[in-house]
Amino acid sequence: MKAFVNKDTCIACETCPAVCPEVFSMDDDGLAVAITDDIPSDLEDSAVEARDSCPVDAIDIKE
Ligand code: F3S
């Protein structure tokens, strides 16, 4: 599983790093970024929760 943040859509609400800080962080540009290439299986639920919590649907998670 991999996570991607669409920086054109992210409004920097900082929800995703709050929900799943192991996978998402805020970048130097103030927008979210996925910091893991492959999401470890024990973090998948948390990463999906972060995606579902994004108010603007800026996060994609792919198998
Ligand atoms: Fe941006 Fe959505 Fe995260 S707005 S900071 S990608 S929860």
pTM metric for this prediction: 0.95
- Each residue of 4-49: pLDDT tens digit? 999 999 999 999 999 999 999 999 999 999 999 899 999 999 999 9
Query: 55 CA distance to ligand 1 centroid (A)?
Result: 7
Class of domain 2-62: alpha beta
Question: What is the distance in A from the centroid of ligand 1 to the CA of 50?
Answer: 8
CA distance 62 to 31: 20
Retrieve residue 54's tokens: 């994004």
Q: Pocket around ligand 1: residues whose beta carbon is below 6 Å from it?
A: 5, 10-16, 32, 54, 56, 58-59
Of all protein residues, whose CA lies closest to atom 7 belonging to ligand 1?
54
Sorted by where each begins, the domain ranges of the chain are: 2-62
Cβ–Cβ < 8 Å for 25, 62 = no
